[in-house]
Amino acid sequence: MVRIIAGGYIDYLAYQLVTGILKGEIENPVMFGIFAAIFAVAGTYFLVSSIMYLIKHKDDPTEGEVVEPSADDDMADLEEIVEETSAEEDSKEE
């Protein structure tokens, strides 16, 4: 959703640059024309890719779901770290 808003805003900036060029308010129209084209392409890319993603994943039931790790996973990770640390200490002593 944020990318859609950002893409729309970037396209709006490109539009403002083009209107400024056409009204003659910009001193360096070539440079600002290049920036307007880059903004237009980037903004349109953000809009289109985000909308396509939303359409593709609209029926995804896991969208936005946060999966919390269980205490068993944390304990297994802790045991693995302890084993690695003790193995490193044993190899240093030898």
pLDDT tens digits, one per residue of 25-71: 988 999 999 999 999 999 999 999 999 988 887 777 665 555 565 65
* pLDDT class of 14 with cuts at 50, 70, 90: very high
> What is the total count of domains within the chain?
1
**Domain extent for 58:** 2-85
pLDDT, mean over the chain: 83
CA distance 15 to 75: 55
pLDDT of residue 15: 95
Whether 12 is in a domain gets the answer: yes
What pLDDT, on the 0 to 100 scale, is given for residue 19?
Answer: 95
Mean pLDDT of 4-14: 94
**93 part of a folded domain:** no
Alpha helices in 1-94 (DSSP H): 2-23, 29-56, 71-93
In a domain, 30, yes or no: yes
CB 51 within 8 A of CB 5: no
Cα pseudo-dihedral 80, 81, 84, 85, rounded to 10 = -150
